[in-house]
Amino acid sequence: MEKQFQDGNNYPLFMDNNDSLGHFRQRFYLKKDSIYMCGNSLGLATKDAEESILNVVDKWKEEAIKIWNVEENKYHLYSIHLAKLMAELVGVDDDEVAVTACTTVNIHQAVSTFYKPTKDKYKILVDDINFPTDRYAIESQVRLKGYEIKDAVKIVKCKGKFIDEDDVIEAMTPDVALVLLPTVYYRSAQILNMTKISEAAKKRNIIIGWDLSHAIGAVDVNLKSLDIDFAVWCTYKYLNGGPGSTASLYINRKHFDQIPGLAGWHGNKADTQFKLLQEFEHRRDATGWQIGTPHLFSMAGLEGSLKLFKEAGLKNIRKKSLHITAYLMFLVDTKLSGYGFTIGNPRDDEKRGGHVCLEHDEGYRISLALKARGVVPDYRDPNVIRLTPAALYTTYEEVYRMVEILLDIVRSESYKEISDARNMVV
Ligand SMILES: *Cc1c(COP(=O)(O)O)cnc(C)c1O
Protein backbone atom coordinates (compact mmCIF):
# COMPACT_ATOMS: atom_id res chain seq x y z
CA MET A 1 0.00 0.00 0.00
CA GLU A 2 1.35 3.40 -0.94
CA LYS A 3 1.46 5.66 2.08
CA GLN A 4 1.40 9.41 1.91
CA PHE A 5 3.65 11.19 4.34
CA GLN A 6 4.48 14.80 4.74
CA ASP A 7 7.75 16.48 5.31
CA GLY A 8 8.25 18.85 8.21
CA ASN A 9 7.65 18.72 11.93
CA ASN A 10 3.89 19.32 11.96
CA TYR A 11 3.09 15.97 10.44
CA PRO A 12 4.51 13.82 13.28
CA LEU A 13 2.65 15.93 15.84
CA PHE A 14 -0.56 15.54 13.87
CA MET A 15 -0.04 11.76 13.70
CA ASP A 16 0.64 11.52 17.43
CA ASN A 17 -2.47 13.50 18.23
CA ASN A 18 -4.53 11.14 16.12
CA ASP A 19 -2.89 7.91 17.25
CA SER A 20 -5.50 5.59 18.75
CA LEU A 21 -2.73 3.66 20.52
CA GLY A 22 -1.04 6.81 21.81
CA HIS A 23 -2.39 6.50 25.35
CA PHE A 24 -0.52 3.22 25.95
CA ARG A 25 2.72 5.17 26.10
CA GLN A 26 1.88 6.42 29.59
CA ARG A 27 2.02 2.89 30.91
CA PHE A 28 5.68 2.48 29.97
CA TYR A 29 8.77 3.62 31.80
CA LEU A 30 10.30 6.03 29.33
CA LYS A 31 13.42 8.02 30.00
CA LYS A 32 13.36 11.74 29.56
CA ASP A 33 15.68 12.93 26.78
CA SER A 34 16.04 9.44 25.39
CA ILE A 35 14.53 7.86 22.29
CA TYR A 36 14.21 4.11 22.69
CA MET A 37 14.47 2.22 19.39
CA CYS A 38 15.45 -1.17 20.75
CA GLY A 39 12.08 -2.77 21.47
CA ASN A 40 12.80 -5.64 19.08
CA SER A 41 15.65 -6.69 21.37
CA LEU A 42 14.34 -5.86 24.81
CA GLY A 43 10.95 -4.24 25.27
CA LEU A 44 10.53 -1.48 27.83
CA ALA A 45 9.19 -1.98 31.32
CA THR A 46 5.53 -1.22 31.90
CA LYS A 47 3.83 -0.24 35.09
CA ASP A 48 1.57 -3.24 34.51
CA ALA A 49 4.51 -5.66 34.41
CA GLU A 50 6.09 -4.06 37.45
CA GLU A 51 2.83 -4.42 39.35
CA SER A 52 2.41 -8.08 38.46
CA ILE A 53 6.03 -8.86 39.36
CA LEU A 54 5.72 -7.09 42.72
CA ASN A 55 2.50 -8.94 43.31
CA VAL A 56 4.31 -12.27 43.02
CA VAL A 57 7.05 -11.02 45.34
CA ASP A 58 4.35 -10.09 47.86
CA LYS A 59 2.71 -13.49 47.49
CA TRP A 60 6.03 -15.14 48.25
CA LYS A 61 6.51 -12.94 51.32
CA GLU A 62 3.01 -13.52 52.63
CA GLU A 63 2.26 -17.05 51.65
CA ALA A 64 5.61 -18.86 51.49
CA ILE A 65 4.94 -22.43 50.34
CA LYS A 66 1.24 -21.70 50.13
CA ILE A 67 1.99 -19.54 47.08
CA TRP A 68 1.36 -22.71 45.05
CA ASN A 69 -2.17 -23.08 46.45
CA VAL A 70 -3.60 -19.59 46.71
CA GLU A 71 -6.17 -18.38 44.20
CA GLU A 72 -7.07 -21.89 43.10
CA ASN A 73 -3.46 -22.88 42.40
CA LYS A 74 -3.00 -19.95 40.03
CA TYR A 75 0.77 -19.84 40.43
CA HIS A 76 1.22 -23.56 40.23
CA LEU A 77 -0.72 -23.36 36.97
CA TYR A 78 0.74 -20.02 35.98
CA SER A 79 1.66 -21.23 32.49
CA ILE A 80 -1.99 -22.07 31.81
CA HIS A 81 -3.06 -18.73 33.19
CA LEU A 82 -0.65 -16.84 30.92
CA ALA A 83 -1.38 -19.04 27.92
CA LYS A 84 -4.91 -17.66 27.95
CA LEU A 85 -3.46 -14.24 27.13
CA MET A 86 -0.74 -15.57 24.85
CA ALA A 87 -2.73 -17.97 22.64
CA GLU A 88 -4.80 -15.12 21.24
CA LEU A 89 -1.70 -13.45 19.82
CA VAL A 90 -0.98 -16.42 17.59
CA GLY A 91 -4.55 -17.55 16.97
CA VAL A 92 -4.54 -20.97 18.64
CA ASP A 93 -6.39 -22.70 21.49
CA ASP A 94 -5.28 -21.83 25.01
CA ASP A 95 -4.25 -25.40 25.77
CA GLU A 96 -1.93 -25.51 22.75
CA VAL A 97 0.46 -23.03 24.39
CA ALA A 98 2.82 -23.51 27.31
CA VAL A 99 4.62 -20.49 28.74
CA THR A 100 7.80 -22.18 29.76
CA ALA A 101 11.61 -22.26 29.57
CA CYS A 102 13.59 -20.19 27.04
CA THR A 103 13.27 -20.32 23.28
CA THR A 104 16.37 -22.44 22.77
CA VAL A 105 15.20 -25.05 25.29
CA ASN A 106 11.78 -25.09 23.66
CA ILE A 107 13.42 -25.82 20.31
CA HIS A 108 15.28 -28.69 21.96
CA GLN A 109 12.02 -29.88 23.45
CA ALA A 110 10.04 -29.75 20.20
CA VAL A 111 12.77 -31.21 18.03
CA SER A 112 13.49 -34.03 20.48
CA THR A 113 9.77 -34.82 20.36
CA PHE A 114 9.15 -34.61 16.63
CA TYR A 115 12.46 -35.54 15.07
CA LYS A 116 12.22 -39.27 14.46
CA PRO A 117 14.79 -39.90 11.78
CA THR A 118 14.70 -43.00 9.63
CA LYS A 119 17.25 -44.35 7.18
CA ASP A 120 15.68 -42.42 4.30
CA LYS A 121 14.23 -39.40 6.05
CA TYR A 122 16.62 -37.96 8.59
CA LYS A 123 17.64 -34.43 7.64
CA ILE A 124 16.68 -31.18 9.30
CA LEU A 125 16.32 -28.16 7.07
CA VAL A 126 17.47 -24.72 8.28
CA ASP A 127 18.87 -21.59 6.67
CA ASP A 128 22.16 -19.77 7.08
CA ILE A 129 20.99 -16.38 8.35
CA ASN A 130 18.65 -17.25 11.22
CA PHE A 131 19.55 -16.23 14.75
CA PRO A 132 22.22 -18.86 15.41
CA THR A 133 20.93 -20.35 18.65
CA ASP A 134 18.26 -22.18 16.61
CA ARG A 135 20.96 -23.80 14.52
CA TYR A 136 23.06 -24.71 17.58
CA ALA A 137 20.05 -26.51 19.02
CA ILE A 138 19.32 -28.33 15.76
CA GLU A 139 22.93 -29.43 15.42
CA SER A 140 23.05 -30.86 18.91
CA GLN A 141 19.77 -32.72 18.36
CA VAL A 142 21.15 -34.25 15.19
CA ARG A 143 24.35 -35.25 16.99
CA LEU A 144 22.37 -36.80 19.84
CA LYS A 145 20.68 -39.06 17.30
CA GLY A 146 24.10 -40.23 16.11
CA TYR A 147 24.29 -38.28 12.85
CA GLU A 148 27.05 -36.11 11.44
CA ILE A 149 26.00 -32.47 11.27
CA LYS A 150 27.31 -32.06 7.74
CA ASP A 151 25.20 -34.98 6.62
CA ALA A 152 21.96 -34.41 8.52
CA VAL A 153 21.66 -30.63 8.72
CA LYS A 154 20.60 -29.29 5.35
CA ILE A 155 21.12 -25.58 4.84
CA VAL A 156 19.21 -23.25 2.56
CA LYS A 157 21.64 -20.55 1.53
CA CYS A 158 20.73 -16.90 1.46
CA LYS A 159 21.68 -15.66 -1.99
CA GLY A 160 21.44 -11.94 -1.42
CA LYS A 161 19.91 -10.18 1.51
CA PHE A 162 16.84 -12.35 1.72
CA ILE A 163 15.86 -15.99 1.78
CA ASP A 164 13.91 -17.09 -1.27
CA GLU A 165 10.88 -19.20 -0.33
CA ASP A 166 11.26 -21.21 -3.52
CA ASP A 167 14.80 -22.19 -2.49
CA VAL A 168 13.39 -23.44 0.81
CA ILE A 169 10.72 -25.48 -0.94
CA GLU A 170 13.17 -26.84 -3.48
CA ALA A 171 15.33 -28.06 -0.58
CA MET A 172 12.43 -30.09 0.84
CA THR A 173 13.67 -33.33 -0.68
CA PRO A 174 12.34 -36.72 0.47
CA ASP A 175 15.24 -37.13 2.94
CA VAL A 176 14.12 -34.07 4.95
CA ALA A 177 12.28 -34.95 8.17
CA LEU A 178 11.86 -31.55 9.83
CA VAL A 179 12.11 -27.83 9.01
CA LEU A 180 12.72 -25.00 11.43
CA LEU A 181 12.60 -21.40 10.20
CA PRO A 182 12.06 -17.94 11.65
CA THR A 183 8.95 -15.96 10.74
CA VAL A 184 10.87 -12.66 10.81
CA TYR A 185 14.63 -12.50 10.34
CA TYR A 186 16.36 -10.72 13.17
CA ARG A 187 18.78 -8.83 10.97
CA SER A 188 16.87 -8.00 7.79
CA ALA A 189 13.28 -7.98 9.18
CA GLN A 190 12.25 -10.17 6.23
CA ILE A 191 9.02 -12.11 6.77
CA LEU A 192 8.89 -15.53 5.22
CA ASN A 193 5.64 -16.61 3.61
CA MET A 194 4.56 -19.03 6.33
CA THR A 195 1.54 -20.27 4.42
CA LYS A 196 3.44 -21.19 1.29
CA ILE A 197 6.29 -22.89 3.15
CA SER A 198 4.08 -24.66 5.69
CA GLU A 199 1.84 -26.05 2.96
CA ALA A 200 4.82 -27.30 0.99
CA ALA A 201 6.22 -29.02 4.08
CA LYS A 202 2.93 -30.68 4.94
CA LYS A 203 2.50 -31.91 1.39
CA ARG A 204 5.87 -33.64 1.69
CA ASN A 205 5.17 -35.11 5.10
CA ILE A 206 7.81 -32.94 6.75
CA ILE A 207 7.40 -31.75 10.34
CA ILE A 208 7.38 -27.95 10.36
CA GLY A 209 8.15 -25.59 13.22
CA TRP A 210 8.40 -21.81 13.25
CA ASP A 211 10.39 -19.49 15.49
CA LEU A 212 8.26 -16.40 16.05
CA SER A 213 10.73 -14.59 18.31
CA HIS A 214 11.09 -11.53 16.11
CA ALA A 215 7.45 -11.53 15.06
CA ILE A 216 5.43 -12.03 18.22
CA GLY A 217 3.82 -8.81 19.40
CA ALA A 218 4.57 -6.97 16.17
CA VAL A 219 3.12 -9.16 13.43
CA ASP A 220 -0.24 -10.92 13.55
CA VAL A 221 0.03 -14.59 12.71
CA ASN A 222 -2.60 -17.29 12.78
CA LEU A 223 -1.03 -20.63 13.52
CA LYS A 224 -4.35 -22.45 13.60
CA SER A 225 -5.00 -21.81 9.94
CA LEU A 226 -1.46 -22.92 9.08
CA ASP A 227 -1.90 -26.24 10.90
CA ILE A 228 1.85 -26.46 11.55
CA ASP A 229 3.39 -28.85 14.07
CA PHE A 230 5.02 -26.55 16.60
CA ALA A 231 6.24 -23.01 17.20
CA VAL A 232 8.46 -21.26 19.72
CA TRP A 233 8.94 -17.63 20.69
CA CYS A 234 10.55 -15.44 23.27
CA THR A 235 8.67 -12.85 25.27
CA TYR A 236 11.19 -10.17 26.16
CA LYS A 237 11.32 -8.48 22.74
CA TYR A 238 8.10 -6.89 21.47
CA LEU A 239 6.07 -8.46 24.28
CA ASN A 240 7.90 -6.51 26.99
CA GLY A 241 7.93 -9.41 29.46
CA GLY A 242 11.24 -8.31 31.01
CA PRO A 243 14.89 -9.36 30.57
CA GLY A 244 14.95 -13.14 30.20
CA SER A 245 11.19 -13.50 30.65
CA THR A 246 9.83 -17.01 30.11
CA ALA A 247 9.36 -18.14 26.51
CA SER A 248 6.47 -19.97 24.86
CA LEU A 249 5.93 -23.24 23.06
CA TYR A 250 3.02 -24.07 20.77
CA ILE A 251 2.17 -27.72 20.18
CA ASN A 252 -0.56 -28.49 17.64
CA ARG A 253 -3.28 -30.39 19.50
CA LYS A 254 -3.09 -33.25 17.00
CA HIS A 255 0.22 -34.10 18.70
CA PHE A 256 -1.00 -34.11 22.31
CA ASP A 257 -0.59 -37.88 22.56
CA GLN A 258 3.05 -37.79 21.52
CA ILE A 259 5.52 -38.36 24.33
CA PRO A 260 7.57 -35.23 25.12
CA GLY A 261 11.21 -35.60 24.11
CA LEU A 262 12.41 -34.01 27.33
CA ALA A 263 10.18 -35.15 30.16
CA GLY A 264 9.93 -33.55 33.57
CA TRP A 265 7.60 -33.55 36.53
CA HIS A 266 5.79 -30.35 35.55
CA GLY A 267 4.67 -32.07 32.39
CA ASN A 268 3.01 -34.79 34.40
CA LYS A 269 -0.77 -35.01 34.62
CA ALA A 270 -2.03 -32.54 37.21
CA ASP A 271 -4.03 -35.06 39.20
CA THR A 272 -1.11 -37.41 39.74
CA GLN A 273 1.78 -34.94 39.75
CA PHE A 274 1.96 -34.70 43.52
CA LYS A 275 1.56 -38.41 44.00
CA LEU A 276 5.14 -38.36 42.75
CA LEU A 277 4.83 -41.67 40.98
CA GLN A 278 7.90 -43.20 39.40
CA GLU A 279 6.12 -43.45 36.08
CA PHE A 280 5.74 -40.32 33.98
CA GLU A 281 2.31 -39.70 32.54
CA HIS A 282 2.26 -36.55 30.45
CA ARG A 283 -0.55 -34.06 30.30
CA ARG A 284 -2.44 -34.20 27.04
CA ASP A 285 -1.95 -30.53 26.24
CA ALA A 286 0.98 -28.20 25.62
CA THR A 287 1.85 -28.10 29.33
CA GLY A 288 2.83 -31.76 28.98
CA TRP A 289 6.02 -30.34 27.44
CA GLN A 290 6.93 -28.36 30.55
CA ILE A 291 9.92 -29.67 32.39
CA GLY A 292 10.47 -28.18 35.84
CA THR A 293 8.96 -25.77 38.34
CA PRO A 294 7.63 -22.59 36.71
CA HIS A 295 9.92 -19.57 37.01
CA LEU A 296 7.38 -17.30 38.63
CA PHE A 297 9.45 -14.13 38.67
CA SER A 298 10.32 -14.51 35.00
CA MET A 299 6.69 -15.15 34.11
CA ALA A 300 5.03 -12.51 36.24
CA GLY A 301 5.95 -9.56 34.01
CA LEU A 302 3.91 -11.15 31.23
CA GLU A 303 0.76 -11.11 33.30
CA GLY A 304 0.97 -7.33 33.21
CA SER A 305 2.46 -6.73 29.79
CA LEU A 306 0.13 -9.05 27.89
CA LYS A 307 -2.84 -7.10 29.17
CA LEU A 308 -1.75 -4.21 26.97
CA PHE A 309 -1.80 -6.42 23.90
CA LYS A 310 -5.26 -7.63 24.72
CA GLU A 311 -6.49 -4.07 25.15
CA ALA A 312 -4.75 -2.69 22.07
CA GLY A 313 -5.39 -5.61 19.70
CA LEU A 314 -2.64 -7.04 17.58
CA LYS A 315 -4.21 -5.92 14.31
CA ASN A 316 -4.08 -2.30 15.48
CA ILE A 317 -0.51 -2.78 16.67
CA ARG A 318 0.56 -4.19 13.31
CA LYS A 319 -1.21 -1.38 11.49
CA LYS A 320 0.61 1.32 13.44
CA SER A 321 3.89 -0.57 13.26
CA LEU A 322 3.68 -0.73 9.46
CA HIS A 323 2.79 2.93 9.23
CA ILE A 324 5.38 4.31 11.63
CA THR A 325 8.17 2.16 10.14
CA ALA A 326 7.12 3.30 6.64
CA TYR A 327 7.32 6.88 7.92
CA LEU A 328 10.83 6.21 9.21
CA MET A 329 11.81 4.84 5.78
CA PHE A 330 10.25 7.88 4.12
CA LEU A 331 12.38 10.17 6.28
CA VAL A 332 15.51 8.13 5.56
CA ASP A 333 14.79 8.33 1.84
CA THR A 334 14.06 12.04 1.81
CA LYS A 335 16.43 13.44 4.45
CA LEU A 336 19.37 11.07 4.54
CA SER A 337 19.92 10.39 0.87
CA GLY A 338 23.48 10.96 -0.27
CA TYR A 339 24.95 10.01 3.12
CA GLY A 340 25.63 6.34 2.43
CA PHE A 341 22.54 4.76 4.00
CA THR A 342 20.61 1.86 2.51
CA ILE A 343 17.35 0.40 3.75
CA GLY A 344 18.20 -3.25 4.33
CA ASN A 345 14.70 -4.63 4.98
CA PRO A 346 12.08 -5.51 2.37
CA ARG A 347 9.80 -2.58 1.46
CA ASP A 348 6.60 -4.59 0.98
CA ASP A 349 4.27 -4.58 3.97
CA GLU A 350 3.68 -8.33 3.70
CA LYS A 351 7.38 -8.99 3.70
CA ARG A 352 8.67 -6.93 6.61
CA GLY A 353 8.46 -7.19 10.38
CA GLY A 354 8.54 -4.48 13.03
CA HIS A 355 12.01 -3.05 12.68
CA VAL A 356 13.86 -1.00 10.11
CA CYS A 357 17.39 -1.97 9.09
CA LEU A 358 19.56 0.94 8.26
CA GLU A 359 22.76 -0.18 6.60
CA HIS A 360 25.86 1.98 6.49
CA ASP A 361 29.58 1.18 6.15
CA GLU A 362 30.13 3.13 9.36
CA GLY A 363 27.05 1.61 11.01
CA TYR A 364 28.82 0.68 14.21
CA ARG A 365 30.26 4.10 14.92
CA ILE A 366 27.04 5.81 13.87
CA SER A 367 25.13 3.63 16.31
CA LEU A 368 27.54 4.76 19.05
CA ALA A 369 27.08 8.37 18.03
CA LEU A 370 23.30 7.89 18.26
CA LYS A 371 23.71 6.53 21.78
CA ALA A 372 25.80 9.53 22.74
CA ARG A 373 22.91 11.71 21.58
CA GLY A 374 20.30 9.84 23.63
CA VAL A 375 18.96 7.48 20.97
CA VAL A 376 18.99 3.76 21.83
CA PRO A 377 19.36 1.71 18.64
CA ASP A 378 20.97 -1.66 18.34
CA TYR A 379 23.58 -2.80 15.96
CA ARG A 380 24.25 -6.11 14.21
CA ASP A 381 27.34 -6.90 12.20
CA PRO A 382 28.43 -6.26 9.58
CA ASN A 383 26.70 -2.92 9.03
CA VAL A 384 23.11 -2.88 10.31
CA ILE A 385 21.61 -0.31 12.65
CA ARG A 386 18.29 -1.77 13.73
CA LEU A 387 15.63 0.76 14.63
CA THR A 388 12.31 -0.19 16.12
CA PRO A 389 9.56 2.33 16.57
CA ALA A 390 7.37 0.21 18.85
CA ALA A 391 3.65 0.63 18.25
CA LEU A 392 2.74 0.87 21.92
CA TYR A 393 5.25 3.45 23.04
CA THR A 394 7.10 5.20 20.22
CA THR A 395 5.81 8.50 18.86
CA TYR A 396 6.07 9.84 15.34
CA GLU A 397 7.72 12.89 16.82
CA GLU A 398 10.49 10.69 18.24
CA VAL A 399 11.04 9.12 14.83
CA TYR A 400 11.26 12.56 13.30
CA ARG A 401 13.66 13.79 15.97
CA MET A 402 15.83 10.69 15.65
CA VAL A 403 16.25 11.21 11.90
CA GLU A 404 17.21 14.84 12.56
CA ILE A 405 19.88 13.57 14.97
CA LEU A 406 21.08 11.02 12.40
CA LEU A 407 21.30 13.74 9.80
CA ASP A 408 23.35 15.90 12.14
CA ILE A 409 25.70 12.99 12.91
CA VAL A 410 26.43 12.20 9.27
CA ARG A 411 26.52 15.78 8.14
CA SER A 412 29.00 16.80 10.81
CA GLU A 413 30.79 13.44 10.61
CA SER A 414 30.92 13.50 14.40
CA TYR A 415 30.96 9.68 14.44
CA LYS A 416 34.52 9.80 13.15
CA GLU A 417 35.69 10.97 16.54
CA ILE A 418 34.35 7.81 18.18
CA SER A 419 36.50 4.75 18.83
CA ASP A 420 35.08 1.55 17.37
CA ALA A 421 36.21 -0.68 20.26
CA ARG A 422 33.48 -3.24 20.94
CA ASN A 423 31.38 -3.81 24.02
CA MET A 424 30.47 -7.40 25.00
CA VAL A 425 26.74 -6.90 24.39
CA VAL A 426 26.17 -4.86 21.25
C1 LIG B 1 15.61 -13.79 20.36
C2 LIG B 1 15.63 -15.09 19.67
C3 LIG B 1 15.87 -16.28 20.38
C4 LIG B 1 16.12 -16.23 21.85
O5 LIG B 1 16.43 -17.46 22.41
P6 LIG B 1 16.46 -17.62 23.99
O7 LIG B 1 16.79 -19.05 24.18
O8 LIG B 1 15.08 -17.28 24.51
O9 LIG B 1 17.50 -16.71 24.52
C10 LIG B 1 15.86 -17.47 19.68
N11 LIG B 1 15.65 -17.51 18.35
C12 LIG B 1 15.42 -16.38 17.64
C13 LIG B 1 15.16 -16.47 16.16
C14 LIG B 1 15.41 -15.15 18.27
O15 LIG B 1 15.18 -14.03 17.58
Within-domain flag for 36? no
Q: For residue 358, what pLDDT is reported?
A: 97
Cα of 103 from ligand 1 centre, angstroms: 5
Which domain does 82 fall in, by range?
Answer: 50-311
Within-domain flag for 178? yes
Q: For residue 25, what pLDDT is reported?
A: 98
Q: For residue 210, what pLDDT is reported?
A: 98
Q: For residue 272, what pLDDT is reported?
A: 86
Alpha-carbon distance values, 391 to 157, 245, 319, 321, 362 (Å): 32, 20, 9, 5, 28
* C-alpha–C-alpha distance, residues 164 and 193, integer Å: 10
Strand partners, 250: 97, 231
To the question of whether residue 293 is assigned a binding role by annotation, the answer is: yes
Domain boundary, last residue among 277, 296, 311? 311
Give which of 152, 286, 307, 271 is closest to 231, Cα–Cα.
Answer: 286
* C-alpha–C-alpha distance, residues 254 and 194, integer Å: 19
Of 100, 234, 245, the one to substitute when testing ligand 1's pocket (max ligand atoms within 8 A of C-beta) is 234
Q: For residue 20, what pLDDT is reported?
A: 98
For β-strands 342-343 and 248-251, DSSP reports them as: unpaired
Residue-wise pLDDT tens digits, 198-243: 999 999 999 999 999 999 999 999 999 999 999 999 999 999 999 9
Within-domain flag for 271? yes
Q: Mean pLDDT, consecutive 10-residue segments, the chain of 426 residues?
A: 82 98 98 95 98 98 97 96 97 98 98 98 97 97 98 97 97 98 97 98 98 98 98 98 98 98 95 87 97 98 98 98 98 96 97 98 96 95 96 98 97 90 70
User: Which residue's C-alpha comes closest to atom 1 of ligand 1?
Assistant: 213
Amino acid occupying residue 309? F
287 and 297 together in one domain: yes
Cα angle, residue 233 at apex, residues 229 and 236 outer, rounded to 5° = 170
Domain boundary, last residue among 290, 311, 332? 311
195 and 294 together in one domain: yes
State whether the beta carbon of 208 lies less than 6 angstroms from ligand 1: no
> For residue 106, which atom of ligand 1 is closest to its CA?
7
Does residue 182 have a cis peptide bond before it, meaning omega lies within 30 degrees of 0? no
Q: For residue 424, what pLDDT is reported?
A: 67
Domain boundary, last residue among 246, 279, 311? 311
DSSP 282: B
Give which of 357, 120, 91, 350 is closest to 221, Cα–Cα.
Answer: 91
Alpha-carbon distance values, 283 to 7, 15, 59, 259 (Å): 57, 49, 27, 10
224 and 102 together in one domain: yes
Q: For residue 426, what pLDDT is reported?
A: 60
Q: For residue 274, what pLDDT is reported?
A: 83
DSSP string across 131-196: -HHHHHHHHHHHHHTT--HHHHEEEEPP-SSS--HHHHHHT--TTEEEEEEESB-TTT-BBP-HHH
Return the CATH number at 18.
3.90.1150.10
State whether the beta carbon of 106 lies less than 6 angstroms from ligand 1: no
User: Which residue's C-alpha comes closest to atom 13 of ligand 1?
Assistant: 131
- Number of domains making up the chain: 2
22 and 58 together in one domain: no
